[in-house]
Structure 1
Amino acid sequence: MRQISVDRPSRSLEPRLLEGKVTSPLWSDMCGWEDLATTCSQQDLSVGRAMLDLDHGWSGRWTATWKVGKAKRTGPVADLDSVPLNGCVPWRGFTWRQRQHHRPGLEPMLTTGRQHGFESHREDQFVVMADFAGEAEEVLSQPFQLSFQGEGRRREHIPDFLTVSRQGRWLVDIRPAGRMNDDDLMKFAASAEVALSLGWGYAVVTGWRPLTWRNVDLLYSRRRPMKDPLGLKPLLLETALTATKPLTFGELAASYAYPALARPVIVHLLWHRQLGVDLAAPFGDGSVLRPASTRAGTR
């Protein structure tokens, strides 16, 4: 993984634990993956935090072990922010065999230009959502093994993802709602304490806000670079920008002589945030579109 210079976060999240986001409208050209996610509450994490040994100097005694190639390196979690990410690899390999009960794989990301490992369908969804958000300059699956003190003994946990963007770093665990016991909450709380001590964001993603995954999955079908021999991209963008009122998906497609050719181009523009749509509403011909906000940019 290439080394990246990271600016400190510009978003105000103190503490940077996600909870209580609005649901609609959720404009696709403005949202980050954290706006789309449902997450473990701070109240649940406080149950796990009560099990941790957080006496003075804990960040110097807790350690993180990461891999650079085949070599393992260990250091106190207080120094994690200075660890160069260049050459870091996932803690575990992603293997496939008959009769396994989890679903590993590799998901390509346009924003990083690489494939990223995942161990479940839920983790695959996170990689897609992070790619759609367009902010991640780097994503590392299973970035390190955290060794911490909890309930009077040494414990270990491997977070699922570390994302790096201009807004900062996010440590992320993936676990469906209703599938967390007290031991899980203790491990997640330990990750949260490490992240907060470093000024990183942290979230346990339990799912996605209603309809958002279905809509992003639909846009995913047209995320790849596409040729535009008819020049439809600038034509459709200009039509949306100069319209006297917001156009629906069906209306924008019908503005071209052959709507069937315009539809996949519009979906492509939506994935690449050159147009926006409410992800919290069902997507169809009646979906209202808007030109991308100047804050969203294009990619």
Structure 2
Amino acid sequence: MEALSRAYGDEALTAFELDFLSNGERRRHPLGASWQVPFEAVEPVRPFRWDKGTPGFAGWYYSATVRDHVGYESWLERDRLILLDRDPQVRAILAQPFWLHWHDGERRRRHAPDYFVRLATGQARIVDVRAEDDMDEGTWEAFVATQRACSAVGWD
């Protein structure tokens, strides 16, 4: 952890918070105090949208990797999930693993990445899936913030 602080500065480790569900209990801690949580073992932080007329195409994909169903909210997410499931380096996949909280200088923001992935090396990877033509300014900002948080703790 000390090496991470030196490499990326303490700012990101305290500027971001992770909010997640573990054993049915909601927990919220600074990024620097929670980045080692085994997120492949937590529960999704929000339900998937199933309502008729809701944009996207939500569903469950049975993952051979995790031997359980993993949720998705669009066909694009489902396709990425299939690719992750077929990747021999992927050992675990969890949808909606946590809320990432931060302040953008004007207001409080939050974002739930689409997937947390654990690789065979033990490395963590955060995956967000969105069609480029479906990206508004707020989405770009959330993805940039997520990248910054991931870099601070050595996640892909």
TM-superposed deviation, 1:86: 6.6
Contact 2:40 2:116 in 1 (8 A): no
Secondary structure of 2:134's match? coil
TM-superposed deviation, 1:70: 2.7
Residue 293 of structure 1 aligns with which residue?
Answer: none
CA distance in 2, matches of 1:162, 1:146: 12
Extract structure 1 runs of 4+ deviating beyond 3 A: 84-87
TM-superposed deviation, 1:141: 0.4
Q: How do 1:1-299 and structure 2 match up within 5 A?
A: 57-85=11-39, 87-167=41-121, 168-201=123-156
Q: 5+ unaligned residues in a row in structure 1: which ranges?
A: 1-54, 202-299
TM-superposed deviation, 1:106: 0.6
Question: Could you give the per-residue CA deviations for residues 64-101 of structure 1, whole angstroms, max 9, x where no partner exists?
Answer: 10012432100001123321337411111235333332
CA distance in 2, matches of 1:111, 1:60: 33
Contact 2:60 2:70 in 1 (8 A): yes
Amino acid at match of 2:134: R
Contact 2:65 2:85 in 1 (8 A): yes
Amino acid at match of 1:106: W
Distance 1:146 1:126, change over 3 A: same
Identical aligned residues as a percent: 23
CA distance in 1, matches of 2:52, 2:46: 18
Contact 1:159 1:172 in 2 (8 A): yes
Contact 1:163 1:169 in 2 (8 A): yes
TM-superposed deviation, 1:57: 2.4
Q: RMSD of the TM alignment (CA)?
A: 2.0
Based on CA coordinates, which of the two structures has the bigger radius of gyration?
1
TM-superposed deviation, 1:138: 0.8
> How many residues of Structure 1 are paired with residues of Structure 2 in the alignment?
148
Distance 1:130 1:87, change over 3 A: closer
Distance 1:162 1:63, change over 3 A: same
Q: Which moved more, 1:97-106 or 1:126-135?
A: 97-106
Amino acid at match of 1:197: A
Contact 2:58 2:72 in 1 (8 A): yes
Amino acid at match of 1:191: T
TM-score, normalised to structure 2, is 0.85
TM-superposed deviation, 1:158: 0.8
TM-score, normalised to structure 1, is 0.46
